Amino acid sequence: MKRYPCSGCSLLCDDIIVKSDGLFIEEVIGACLKGKERFDQVNAQNRITSPMIRKNNELVNASWEEALAKTVEIIKNSSAPLLYGFSNVTCEAQRAGMDLAKEINGFIDSNASICQGKILNKARSQGINLTTITEIINKVDLIILWGANPAETIPRLLNKILFSRGKFRMTGREIKTLVIIDPVKTASFRVMGVRDLALIIQPDKDIELIQMLKEECCSADSIPSGGVAGIDKSDLKRLLLHLTGAENGVIILGQGVIQPHANYDLIEELLDLLQLINTRQAKGRISLLLLGGHFNMAGFDHVALSSYGVSGKLQFENKKLVKSEDTIVSKINKENFDCSIIVGTDPISHLPHSLSSKLSKKPLILIDNHNSATSRIADVVLPTAITGIESSGLAYRIDQVPVELKKILNPPNNIPSDEELLNQLIEKLNGGAK
Amino acid sequence: MELYKYLPKTNCKECGMPTCMAFSLALLQGKAKVDDCPPLLKPKYKKQYEKLKELLGSEEGQEKELRINVDEDLCDGCGICVTICPVNARYCPPSLSGKAPEYPPEKHQLFQVIDGKCELLNLEYCRRLESEGRERECHVCETYCPREAIKIEYV
């Protein structure tokens, strides 16, 4: 039977069997609950199937021409538009979004900049090895989960990397050691065996552990007897032995380590430690894997890098790329924008209230496929097809490997895909100017 | 040997076996029943008969009613049971590397994730019923389920 890639999360499992008659999806075999929910969104109650515009403080259904005309009007009246989202769309749509930003002299940024993009860019500049899922399956003997709980966020990840048997790791689970560093005992702790190491760290004390490991990297004799950050001495000794003795280790960084701190940069310290271990280690190496949530979180940086030579946010002025120190957070905080185009995300419920209230004051255009907190305050809502089910395209997996998503069904009411809609907008804007 | 202690030890051959020792082995393997030994049914051996019934009763019950329950509310379809189950690993090559097995499922396949939930297909091929020795104690699916959705029970 034919296998399709799943766009439920950033793991993009490419072994899903979908039983479909071309109109409906009957059964999904192999996908986790998260993937199943994604396939269920096709007929979900909160699906948007027709464009909506705000009239007299109320969202009402409108025709495509009406909605597009209103969108063009809002964009034309603004001088500093803000484009945000682009993590739940294909790379082609991200490219179209960048073209649109260039056309309207806007600022474009993705969810990755407040998430894993920070670590990715730093790791790239420091030359840290990123690894791929296949490599983990075939070679890895040490897996460290740092501030990550994949058993609940990306359900099939542990199945793929820890329990599977690979070319050089034929015994699977038995040969792989798991270390979890987390302040709370999460669901991931339940897959641990006797040889594994569970480290319950005190909240916000990661920096102490990293500094200790940096100092003690070569000798395990001078560890303080009272332990560090709530972890006792014998456990620290075992952690050091694992770190320096692993043939192929991987550190999986989750959302727990990306929050900013006032006095120090945790990510930089962590990457320094990695580099130190890699230079000291005689046997092998330790590499990095970043956990992102949205299915194409990694894609935006790649597309920006290949088309404009900059990874991450882009600021355009006079249809040219200019350097900017602003981020999406500082832009919204300073209210340095006069309209926003949100694509495939829900910032009103994700961002803190101080930012989301500022975002909601200005005109907001939403391009998405289901109702959310953002769709309630939007001025124009443009529906699109669900990527990976109703439209095809390219997406980047968590390990920065491109995967081709496929089309299974036709979208209802001939809704365009994200890419087609953004290109239509560019065309309309150009047509009006002539 | 414990079973042999409670037998009459007369080697009467009424059960069809050459010695009482052979009969005790047959009892252990489940090939014979306690009632197959005619002298045991006599009032003289009543205490020993009851003791033997007690010893064997618990073990016989275990073999017959193995049940693996998958809690549908807790399961999130991560597929760890599909990958880790030794029977699955032997008969469905894709599940070795963490992939979803073929559909329709193989004859011997135990677990399959359908619509985001794990489903138990053929319990009769489970190691606890099929294998011998220590493999009968297999409980990897229960141990490694991160949601604690799988429970092995004897009802």
* pLDDT(B58) > 70: no
Check: CB of residue A393 under 8 Å from CB of residue A422.
no
For B104, the domain range is: 66-154
Name the band, by pLDDT with cuts 50, 70 and 90, for residue B61: very low
- How many domains is chain B built from? 2
Same domain, B80 and B30: no
Same domain, B18 and B46: yes
Same domain, B30 and B98: no
**Best of A16, A135, A138, A159 to mutate (most B CBs within 10 Å, chain B):** A159
Report chain A's terminal Cα–Cα distance, integer Å.
Answer: 51
CB–CB of A27 and B115 under 8 A? yes
**Best of B88, B99, B150 to mutate (most A CBs within 10 Å, chain A):** B99
**CATH, residue B150:** 3.30.70.20
Same domain, B121 and B55: no
Of B63, B82, B105, which marks where a domain is finished?
Answer: B63
**A97 to chain B, closest Cα gap in Å:** 33
Of B63, B82, B113, which marks where a domain is finished?
Answer: B63
Same domain, B57 and B128: no
Q: What architecture is domain A117-290?
A: 3-Layer(aba) Sandwich (3.40)
CB–CB of A30 and B83 under 8 A? no
Check: CB of residue A339 under 8 Å from CB of residue A128.
no
Same domain, B40 and B101: no
Same domain, B36 and B105: no
Of B47, B63, B79, which marks where a domain is finished?
Answer: B63
For B72-115, list the strands marked E by DSSP.
111-114
Q: How many residues does chain A have?
A: 434
Chain A residues inside the 8 Å CB shell of B83: 159, 163-164, 172
3-state helix/strand/coil string of A121-177: HHHHHHCCCECCHHHHHHHCCEEEEECCCHHHHCCHHHHHHHHCCCCCCCCHHHCCE
DSSP letters, A399-421, are TS-EEEE---SPPGGGPPPHHHH
CB–CB of A30 and B79 under 8 A? yes
- A158 and chain B in contact, CB less than 8 A: yes
Same domain, B23 and B98: no
pLDDT, residue B64, reads: 61
**B91 to chain A, closest Cα gap in Å:** 14
pLDDT, residue A366, reads: 92
Same domain, B86 and B32: no
Name the band, by pLDDT with cuts 50, 70 and 90, for residue B60: low
Same domain, B75 and B126: yes
Report the residue of chain B nearest A35, measured CA to CA: B116
* pLDDT(B147) > 70: yes
pLDDT, residue A434, reads: 42
**A371 to chain B, closest Cα gap in Å:** 23
Same domain, B58 and B70: no
pLDDT, residue A399, reads: 86
Q: Is A99 exposed, middle or buried (0-12, 13-18, 19+ CB in 10 A)?
A: middle
Report the residue of chain B nearest A38, measured CA to CA: B116
Check: CB of residue B91 under 8 Å from CB of residue B112.
no
Report the residue of chain A nearest B112, measured CA to CA: A30
Check: CB of residue A29 under 8 Å from CB of residue A16.
yes
**CATH, residue B7:** 1.10.15.40
Q: Which of B98, B103, B116 sits opposite A163 (nearest CB)?
A: B98
Name the band, by pLDDT with cuts 50, 70 and 90, for residue B30: low
Same domain, B72 and B55: no
**B13 to chain A, closest Cα gap in Å:** 50
Domain A3-115+295-433 fold is Rossmann fold (3.40.50)
Q: How are beta strands A364-368 and A285-290 bridged, if at all? A: unpaired
Instruction: Give the residue among A52, A22, A106, A11 at the shortest CA–CA distance from A368.
Output: A52
Q: Walk along chain A (434 residues) and give the pLDDT tens digit of each residue.
A: 788 999 888 888 888 889 888 888 888 888 888 889 889 888 888 888 889 999 888 888 989 899 999 999 898 888 889 999 888 899 999 999 999 998 888 899 988 888 877 788 888 888 787 888 888 888 898 999 998 898 888 888 888 888 888 888 888 788 889 999 999 998 888 888 888 899 898 888 888 888 888 877 656 567 777 777 778 888 888 888 888 888 889 999 888 888 888 888 888 888 888 888 888 777 778 888 888 888 888 888 889 889 988 888 889 988 888 888 888 888 888 888 888 999 988 888 888 899 888 888 889 999 998 888 888 888 999 999 998 888 999 999 888 889 999 998 888 888 899 899 999 889 888 875 54
Spans of all domains in chain A: 3-115+295-433, 117-290
Chain B residues inside the 8 Å CB shell of A191: 80, 144, 146
The mean pLDDT of B137-152, rounded to a whole number, is: 86
For chain B, list the strands marked E by DSSP.
66-70, 111-114, 117-120, 150-154
pTM for the model: 0.82
